Amino acid sequence: MQPVFQEMRHALQKLRKDLGFTALAVLTLGLGLGATLYMFTFVKAYLLSSLPFPDAERIVHVEQVNTRRGDDGIAITQRDFVEFGRVQQSFVELAAFHIANVGLADDELPTRLAGAYISPSAFDAIQSGARMGRVLSPADAQPGAPPVIVIGNDIWRNRYNSDPQVLGKTIRVNGVPTSIVGVMPEGFEFPFNQSIWMPLQIDMTQPAGPDSPRLQVFGRLKPGVTLEQAAAEFANISKSLGEMYEENKNLTTVIKPFEDAYISKSARTVVGAMFAAVLFVLLIACANVANLILVRTAARQKEIAVRAALGANRWRIVTHVLTESVLLATLGALMAAFLAERGLDITNRALIAADKERPFWVDLSIDWKVLVFAAAAAILTGVIAGLVPALSATRTDVIQYLKDGAKDTGMSASKISRAMVIVEVGLSCILLVCSGLMIRSVVNLQNVDLGIDNTQMLTGRISLLETKYPDPASQLRFFENLVDRLEADPGVVAASAAWSYPGIDGRLTPYRTRAMAGAEPDDLPPTNYAGVMSNYLDVVGLKLVRGRWFDSRDRADSAPVAVIDQGFAERAFPNVDPIGQEILLGGRGNTNAQWLTIVGVSSRVLLDQANDPYHPAVFVPLSQAPSRFMTVAVRTVGEPINFAQRLRETVSALDPDTPVYWVRTLDDWIWVANFTPRLVSILFGIFALIALILSAVGVYGVLAYSVTQRTLEIGVRRAVGASGSRIINLIVGQGMLQLSLGLGVGLLLAMLFSRFLSSMLHGVSAFDPFTLGSVVVVLIAVGLFASLMPALRAIRVDPVKALRSE
């Protein structure tokens, strides 16, 4: 180790003496490594993390797939869950849950918390126990059992001040007096980010139709049973169920690691693609620093020759150069850790602001895994950046340099430098194309036409307690009263309640017209639909283009009616007047559905999140489709967010047990819906900008060095009559040649790479000619700028001095 310490001491001395070089190299590597650490934290969190339970890899998720429609991720009906549990042999424990926002009321203000109704066997499946009290037991899930709840550590600490007497305390959960029986350990938020758990009671009296309650099913595989074996067993059970029940026709089962159910394949692909992108930035940084060291090493050939003469073998010379580059990378890594930590802090705050929830085991912070990666990346980066200069140094002509110090520092170094610049330009091109595509996509998303006037709108979600509002009439009455009170407020232009609104959410279902009488249920096209109040049009600013809107004629007991949007009319009734036509909503097994008569046609509307694709829309009167779960919307006179408190107060005055949550303006909903693509586009933009700057510095550095090396040649050319423009052409031409080669390779690779982003692109193709053309223009402009400065220096070469110095 002694030689390494000696080299480190010498390298530190040298770096201290050449602060300009050190700062530039550390900054370059710091930016490259910083971006890499930042994205590696995402990779660690989303791709490498698993549930924090014993043998977590044996905990798997069970879901259904409709093989005919291609729908996947279908939750499982209670009946199928019971059937699976009765027959299966692959799992030690098969468990289920469904997540719900639960109203919790005690001595403090009522609140809504993310909770889960969970089968007691779940705790055995994940092998987790309570930190205080007990977890749920099978007896708790029996019909008629006293209501109990297990709370999370955070609630125990924050809401109950870590009171050890909390066990046995009775609180109201969704209006029902419920006893606290346990407190879970800190960090336990299974299955996603839940903080309270209630027993899941299976109600087999519920029909197993398309709208029946569905469960997320998971379990722990028995020792020795593989995922494939379990999948084969469940496929057989599914086949049997398909033969027994009409609604199970075309359904099969998919079993996958539990984490995969909550982190989508497209999210993994995007994280992977972005990690690859930052590796490109790191490679560009490495190439730049390698060039810097190469130039520096070329200038130090004599010193290296002296070291060789004094007995330094090839290994020591390589160590000498590598020590310096690894030291630079280590300093860069320190800067990178700081930059990554800042970046993650900003990202975490933005995610919280955008209500972007993530699974509890996904931790976007720098931990020991990231630090180990940082150390390994720093050493590897140092070696990559230093290897070419180090090997180049071992080829120093010792005798020549000791004799008189050679003036030509070797063509091989120049060739390597030029090759590295071509690589840099190519990689920058890939990043610029990806960045350009994402920016175009986000601009498209931001300008998406919802088909309504989305300004001046405030919305909030309300879930009525089943115990207080058990029947449709009481539910409808609550919302009608609420809307009346809101519309009486002078700050409100109009108010309404509906299942959902354009830009917020959608509910997709298959539909059938009379003309589709013979169609298989799984072949039916989808539409978004929502139950709405009669003043919906006034609030959202939707236009009625034909027929009528809902009014007092549309009661619960009158003929069922619907209003469709123009998109629906064009697809379902291209050649006939839609007014008076009938449609049926719901797919296979939906035996209770009624034919709805179309009474009106609205303008085209996107009844879904702003980043979702357009589907036709169907509205039904709320009086004929009441629900406990509704969104109220108010069009305000002033700034909509300023009405938030009044909205809460109005709801609370009507029913103190019913909180209103997700209070946001419609613009905020659009912002939140577009948050992920915007984040990806911002990150790609930052990475591309770093890459562009580093590449420009690379082109400049190599050309500037080349001008220094070619001083004599330029002097001779000037002496024999070359004009300034000829010299500029010579130098800029060299830069443009490198740029063209890099651009050619980069464009080809960019077209391959951008396909990984296709799931994130909205209204723009992965091969968008405008983006590709813009990247070419930007790179050429930057390349010209970077080449021009060395070229201008070249024409200032004094031929007399240049020739005399030789």
Per-residue tokens: 360 = 């509890």
Pair type for strands 561-565 and 617-621: antiparallel
Q: Is 302 in the site for another protein (CB under 8 A)?
A: yes
Among 170, 185, 186, 314, binds another protein (CB under 8 A): 314
Nearer to another protein, 323 or 535 (CB): 323
Question: Which lies closer to another protein via its Cβ, residue 371 or residue 399?
Answer: 399
| Given 243, 404, 551, 557, the residue binding another protein (CB under 8 A) | 404
Q: How far from the centroid of its chain's Cα atoms is residue 50's Cα?
A: 18
Work out which of 79, 220, 307, 512 binds another protein, going by CB under 8 A. 307
Min dist CB 314 to another protein, Å, is: 6
- CB closer to another protein, 299 vs 559: 299
Residues present in the chain in total: 806
In the complex with another protein, the residue whose CB is nearer, 8 or 693, is 8
In this chain, which stretch among 164-172, 269-277, 398-406, 585-593 interacts with another protein, using CB under 8 A? 398-406
DSSP E strand boundaries for 637-734:
660-665
Contacts (CB under 8 A) with another protein, residues 315-344: 315-316
Give the nearest distance from C-beta 712 to another protein in angstroms: 21
| Residue 187 burial (CB count, 10 A) | 12
Residue 309 touching another protein (CB under 8 A): yes
CA distance 251 to 238: 7
CB of 366 to another protein, least distance (A): 35
With beta carbons less than 8 A apart as the criterion, state whether 586 and 527 touch.
Answer: no
CA dist list (Å): 758 to 42, 279, 356, 435, 736: 20, 20, 22, 13, 31
Q: Could you tell me the smallest distance in angstroms from the CB atom of residue 409 to another protein?
A: 17
Alpha-carbon span 670 to 662, nearest angstrom: 13
Looking at the Cβ atoms of 195 and 323, the one nearer to another protein is 323
**Do 277 and 366 meet the contact criterion of CB atoms below 8 Å apart?**
no
Q: Does 310 bind another protein (CB under 8 A)?
A: yes
Q: Contacting another protein (CB under 8 A), which of 139, 346, 399, 515? A: 399
Q: Three-state DSSP class for 581?
A: coil
Candidates 6, 49, 201, 348; binder of another protein (CB under 8 A) is 6
CA distances from 260 to 229, 473, 770 (A): 18, 41, 36
Q: Exactly one of 73, 405, 470, 580 binds another protein (CB under 8 A); which one?
A: 405
Q: Tell me the closest approach of the beta carbon of residue 697 to another protein, in angstroms.
A: 24
Per 3-state DSSP, what percentage of the chain is helix, strand, and coil (rounded to 5)? 55, 20, 30
C-alpha distances in Å from residue 217, one per residue of 32, 160, 238: 42, 32, 14
Q: Which residues pair with 116 in a beta bridge?
A: 99, 197
Closest separation in Å from C-beta 336 to another protein: 27
C-alpha separations of 388 from 103, 309, 419, 437, 561 in Å? 64, 22, 12, 34, 75
Query: Of 439, 420, 423, 435, whose CA–CA distance to 746 is shortest?
Result: 423
Between 299 and 508, CB nearer to another protein:
299
Kindly indicate which of the ranges 306-314, 333-341, 663-671, 762-770 contains the residues binding another protein, using the contact rule CB under 8 A: 306-314
- Rounded Cα gap, residues 793 and 711, in angstroms: 10
Pick the stretch among 211-219, 275-283, 395-403, 507-515 that binds another protein (CB under 8 A).
395-403
What is the nearest approach in angstroms of another protein to the Cβ of residue 320? Answer: 10
DSSP helix/strand/coil, 473? helix
* Binding region for another protein (CB under 8 A) out of 204-212, 394-402, 716-724, 734-742: 394-402
Could you say whether residue 313 binds another protein (CB under 8 A)?
Answer: yes
Please state, in angstroms and rounded to a whole number, the distance separating the CA atoms of residues 377 and 788: 35
Among 155, 277, 294, 312, binds another protein (CB under 8 A): 312
Stretch that binds another protein, among 298-306, 347-355, 609-617, 669-677 (CB under 8 A): 298-306
CB count within 10 Å of CB 698 equals 30
Give the binding range for another protein (CB under 8 A) out of 403-411, 481-489, 540-548, 692-700. Answer: 403-411
Q: Among the candidate windows 64-72, 324-332, 396-404, 666-674, which touches another protein by CB under 8 A?
A: 396-404
- 410-413: list long-range contacts, CB under 8 Å, 24+ apart: 410/298, 410/301, 413/294, 413/295, 413/297, 413/298, 413/389
Q: How far is the CB of 392 from another protein (least distance, A)?
A: 17
Which lies closer to another protein via its Cβ, residue 16 or residue 804? 16
CB of 417 to another protein, least distance (A): 23
Instruction: Give the C-alpha distances (Å, rounded to integers) separating 470 from 218, 473, 474, 476, 483.
Output: 31, 9, 7, 11, 20
Q: Which is nearer to another protein, 3 or 580 (CB)?
A: 3
Q: According to CB under 8 A, which residues from 15 to 34 bind another protein?
A: 17
Using rule CB under 8 A, residue 403 touches another protein: yes
- Residues with Cβ within 8 Å of residue 475, at least 6 apart in sequence: 464, 469, 626, 627, 628
Q: Which one, 1 or 244, has the nearer CB to another protein?
A: 1
What is the per-residue burial (b if ≥16 Cβ within 10 Å, else e) of 587-603? bbbbeebeebebbbbbe
CB of residue 309 to another protein, shortest distance in Å: 5
Give every CB contact of residue 544 below 8 A, 6+ residues apart in sequence: 537, 563, 600, 601, 602, 603
Looking at 6-14, 282-290, 536-544, 725-733, which segment touches another protein (CB under 8 A)? 6-14
Q: Give yes or no for residue 13 binding another protein (CB under 8 A).
A: yes
Cβ at position 405, least distance to another protein in Å? 7
Cβ of residue 708: shortest distance to another protein, in angstroms?
A: 19
If the CB atoms of residues 20 and 143 are measured against another protein, the closer one turns out to be 20
Distance CA 699, CA 735 (A): 7
Task: Pick between residue 10 and residue 553 the one whose CB is nearest to another protein.
Answer: 10
- Partners of residue 102 on adjacent β-strands: 113
Task: Pick from 27, 65, 334, 398 the residue near another protein by CB under 8 A.
Answer: 398
Closest to another protein by CB, 258 or 401: 401
DSSP state of 608: S
Number of residues that bind another protein (CB under 8 A): 26
Interacting residue ranges for another protein, rule: CB under 8 A:
3, 6, 10, 13-14, 17, 302-303, 305-316, 398-399, 402-405
